[in-house]
Amino acid sequence: MKALATVSIAVLFLAAGCSSPAFYWYHPGRTIDEAKADYAECRDQARQKAADVISDQHYDRLPPPDGSSAARNLREPDKTARNPREIQDAWRERYAESVVADCMREKGYMMLKPDHIPRGVHTRKLSQGGVAGR
């Protein structure tokens, strides 16, 4: 019985690791390597912009953005113990995600769900979503 439970848990973890991202950045005229390079360029720009913009102390007085790890930490019993650095980092990450999305759209990419990716197109999973290309 223990062996069955162990195998079941292992299969669940493997399936979670192999799941596809919620979306892919796709440009019909780009290869997968070009898409990865474009994404890396956008991500680097986003990190720099986010570091410049979200350095003010007023962000640590705001509640964390929805879906962030800082927001999940607030659901713990001691809701007054908020770490201002975590909240600021959560806002910085949220801002960076927005900058990446704008940058990729400016480069001509579309955000597609996995089931809308054309057949024969290569995909790569990234930290936030994924990229797709020839």
Question: What are the tokens at 72?
Answer: 């999940």
Dist. CA 91–CA 66, nearest whole Å: 10
Q: Which residue has the higher pLDDT, 1 or 33?
A: 33
Q: Token pair for residue 111?
A: 């955000």
Using one digit for the tens of pLDDT, what is the confidence trace for 51-60? 777 766 555 5
User: Strands (DSSP E) along 11-52, which ranges?
Assistant: 24-26
What is the rounded distance in angstroms from the CA atom of residue 84 to the CA atom of residue 47?
19
How far are the Cα atoms of 30, 96, 132 from residue 109, in angstroms, in the given order? 9, 17, 10
pLDDT of residue 129: 86
Domain boundaries defined on the chain: 2-57+95-133
pLDDT range class, residue 29, cuts 50, 70, 90: very high
- The reported pLDDT for the residue numbered 19 is 64
Tokens representing 131?
A: 């990229």
pLDDT by residue (tens digit) across 69-125?
A: 444 444 444 444 467 677 777 778 888 888 999 999 999 999 999 989 899 899 999
Q: Taking CA 97 as the corner, what is the angle to CA 54 and CA 21, rounded to the nearest 5 degrees?
A: 150
Question: Which contiguous run of DSSP H or E holds residue 133?
Answer: strand 130-133
pLDDT (0 to 100) of residue 53: 75
